Chain A
Amino acid sequence: MTEQQRAGASGDVSLAGLSKHYGDFTAVRPMDLTIPAGSFFALLGASGCGKTTTLRMIAGLEQPSTGTVHIGDRDVTALPPYKRPVNTVFQNYALFPHLSVADNVGFGLRRRGVKDTAGQVKDMLDLVELGHLAKRKPTRLSGGQQQRVAVARALINTPQVLLLDEPLGALDLKLRRQMQLELKRIQTDVGITFVHVTHDQEEAMTMADTIAVMNGGRIEQLGSPVELYESPRTTFVANFLGQSNLVEARVTGRADGDLLLDAQGNRLVLPAARSAADGERLVMGIRPEKITIVHTSDAKVADGRNRLDGGVIVDAAFIGVSTQYVVRMPWGQEFTVFEQNMERDRRLVPGAGVLLHWNPEHGFGLESGDLTAGVAEASEDAA
C-alpha cells in the first residue's frame, strides 16, 4: 500500500491543451484535466462527445492535434502505445482469437521479455476466477468471462493507468451490475488509476470517484457523483445525469443569501450559493424525487417551501418502489415527479389537480440556455 501511494504521488495523468481534430471535424476541444493517481475516474458522455478519443490519446492509439499527455512527471505525448505504462480494456474486449485464454493474459508480459509467465498468469486468472478455463480459446467463453479475461490481460502488466473503453457495454443488465461492483473491488485492491469511458450515467455514478461529463468535445462539468447530481452547473449535465425539471425564471430580488425568483408568475426561492448563474435570468431546476406531490384539496404546505399550484396529472406510472407522475403545469410545461410508495394517495390519478412543493435547498440554478440539452442523448442511451 505504501509503495502504491508513493508511486501514486507521481502518477497523476495530466492533459494540457489536449485536442484532436480530423480535417474540419473537431472531436476534442483543447482540454486541461488532471486525473489523480489511484482514483477511479469516469469520462461520461453520449456517443460522439469525444470521450473515447480522449482515452485513445492517453493510450497513444491516437495522436493529439495539440497539447500534451503526462503520466507522472513523464511527457508521453510522443511515445508509441507499446512504450507507455498504460493498458486498455477495449470495447468488445479485442481478445486474440488465435491464442488461448492463458496466452492472451500472458501476452503483455512476454512482449516485455518476462521469461516465466505461467505463475503470474495463473495468479491473475485466479483473481478473476477463470483459472479453470486457461486452455480455452476466448471465442468459447461467455461475454462476462471474456470481459474478465480482458481485464486480467491488462492488469497483469501492473500499468500505472488502466483505461476502460465502455468495458461493460456488451453485457446484459444483471451481469453489468455484477461486473461494476467487481471492477470497483479490483480497483480498490490494486490501487491503480482507472479511467473509465462510458455513456451510462448510472454506471459512472456507481463506480467512479470523479466524473467528467463530456459534451461536444469538451468537459461540461467535473466532480464527484454527488456533486454532479445535486449541483449540476449546466442544463446538459442536469438532463444527462438523471432527470431534471427545468423552468425559466427571473431574479426579482435578494434576501439573506437567497435569490427571489419569478417563474411563470410563481414566486420561488433559491439559495444564491446553489446557483451557477449570475445574471437576471436563469433556469431553476429541481430533481423529480425531491418534489412532494399532494392533491389540491389538502393544499396545506409548510412555510418556507417552494410551491407550484395548478398542476394536472397527465400520466401516472407505478414502478414498484416509486410512482412516476407526469404533471402538466398551468403554463403548459410538463414536470416529472417520483413519489416513494409509502402511503399511496388513491386520488392521484390522471386528471387530478395537484400542487407540487419542495425544500428550496434542493433546487439549483443554471445559466439560461436550451432547456432540453442532453435529454435526447440520455434517453437514446437508455434505449
Chain B
Amino acid sequence: MAVVNWLRRNVVVLIGLLALGYMTLPNIVVLMFSFNDPNGRFNYTWNGFTTDAWENPCGVAGICDSVEVSLRIAVSSTLIATALGTAIAFALGRYRFRARGAINTLLFLPMSMPEVVMGASLGTLFLNMRINTGFTTILIAHIMFCLSFVVVAVKARVLGMDPKLEEAARDLYASPTQVFLRVTLPLAAPGIGAGAMLAFALSFDDFVITNFTSGNTVTFPMFVYGAAQRGTPPQINVIGSAMFVIAVLIVMIGRIRASRRARQPA
C-alpha cells in the first residue's frame, strides 16, 4: 500500500525521468564509446578504456577540417539567417502589406517539405544554372531553411511585445534609431537568441540538404557518413560528445543567469 501511494505521488517525476533517460541514452553511449579502444576499424563493440581519442581528436585525416567547414557554415548561415529572419519577422508582425499572406505560406514550406525533396530540387537548380556546388551553395541552402525557423521564433516574440513600450520610448525623447536600439531590440532579444540557436543547431547537423549541394566540400555530418562506410574512429565520438557537452553547458549557463536575475535582491 505504501509503495502504491509513493508511486501515485511521484508518477510525474518518474515519467519525466524515463523520458529524460530515453532522450539522453544515445548521447551517453556516444560519450562512453569516445573512451573505447576499438579492435579494428569499427567502434561498435566495447574493447577497453583509453583516452587516446580525446588526447588526439584531430588524429584522423580530414576530421578537423570538416568540423571547421561545418562551424564556418553554421556561423555564417546563423548570422545571415538571423539578420534576415528578424527583419522579416518584424515586417510580418508589425505591418499589413500585399504579399504578407504569400510570404507567410512560403516561409512554412522549408519546414514542412521533406528535406530530401528540397535537397534534390536545390541540387537540380544549381546544376541547371551551372553553378559549381561547394561552400557557397551549402551556405545558400542553409540560410534558406534556417530563415523559416528564425522568423517563427522572432515573430512570436514581436507579436507578444506591447507597442505601448515603443510609444513610451518615443514620448521620452528617443529618436526612431534609439527606440529600436534601446527598446525594440532588447525586448525582441530572447526571440532572436532562440532563433539563432535553432539556426545554428539545424545548420551544424544538417546532412540531407548539404549532401545535394556540397560538391567536394565536406562538412562534419558528411564526414561521419563517409567514415561509416570505411570505419568509425572514436574521434567522431569525441567531437560529437564535445558538441553535446558544450551545448548543455551553454543552456545551463543561460538558466543560471536567468534565475540569478530573477532572484536579484531589492
Contacts and interface: CB of A to CB of B under 8 A. Distances in A.
A290 interface: no
B172 A157 contact: yes
A136 B173 contact: no
A107 B187 contact: no
B178 interface: yes
A88 interface: yes
Given A111-B172, A136-B266, A96 B183 contact: yes
A80 B168 CA distance: 13
Most buried by A among B164, B171, B182: B171
Contacts of B165: 94, 96-97
B172 A107 contact: yes
B171 A132 contact: no
Contact of B186 (A82, A91, A98, A111): A98
B174 A111 contact: yes
Contacts of B264: 135-137
A13 interface: no
Contacts of A118: none
B52 interface: no
Interface in A89-138: 90-92, 94-98, 107-108, 111-112, 132-133, 135-137
A96 to B, nearest CB: 6
B41 interface: no
A87 interface: yes
Interface in B98-128: none
A87 B171 contact: yes
Given A94-B162, A96-B165, A98-B186, A80 B170 contact: yes
Interface size classification for chain A: 20 to 34
A61 interface: yes
Nearest to A165: B164
Interface in B232-266: 261, 264-266
Contacts of A136: 264, 266
A36 interface: no
A223 interface: no
A88 B167 CA distance: 10
Nearest to B174: A111
A90 B178 contact: no
B51 interface: no
A27 interface: no
A59 B174 contact: no
A94 to B, nearest CB: 4
Given A94-B162, A96-B165, A96-B183, A59 B266 contact: no
A162 to B, nearest CB: 11
Contacts, number: 70
Contacts of B187: 97-98
Contacts of B39: none
B266 A132 contact: yes
A154 B169 CA distance: 11
Interface in A137-183: 137, 153-154, 157
Contacts of A97: 165, 187
Most buried by A among B165, B172, B261: B172
A352 B175 CA distance: 69
Contacts of A135: 264-266
Given A92-B164, A133-B266, A153 B186 contact: no
A81 interface: yes
A60 B175 CA distance: 13
B170 A61 contact: yes
Contacts of B168: 88, 90, 94-96
A61 B172 CA distance: 12
B263 to A, nearest CB: 10
Contacts of A95: 168
A80 B169 CA distance: 12
B178 A111 contact: yes
A130 to B, nearest CB: 11
A132 B107 CA distance: 48
Nearest to B167: A61
A135 to B, nearest CB: 7
A71 to B, nearest CB: 14
Given A94-B164, A97-B187, A111-B178, A61 B171 contact: yes
A81 B164 CA distance: 13
A252 B261 CA distance: 77
B266 A88 contact: no
A111 B176 CA distance: 11
A102 to B, nearest CB: 13
Contacts of A154: 171-172
A334 to B, nearest CB: 43
A88 B171 CA distance: 7
B170 A107 contact: no
Nearest to A91: B164
A97 B169 CA distance: 12
B1 to A, nearest CB: 45
Nearest to B173: A111
B173 A157 contact: yes
B178 A59 contact: no
A82 B175 contact: yes
Contacts of A60: 170-171
Interface string B148-186: 000000000000001011011111111100100011001
Contacts of B174: 82, 107, 111
B172 A90 contact: no
A137 B266 CA distance: 9
10 shortest A-B CB distances, which residue pairs?
A: A108-B172, A94-B164, A94-B168, A111-B173, A81-B170, A98-B186, A88-B171, A82-B173, A111-B174, A107-B172
11 contacts: A82-B172, A88-B171, A90-B167, A94-B167, A94-B168, A96-B165, A98-B187, A108-B173, A133-B266, A135-B264, A137-B261
Given A111-B182, A133-B266, A154-B172, 8 more contacts: A59-B171, A60-B171, A82-B175, A94-B165, A96-B169, A135-B264, A137-B264, A154-B171
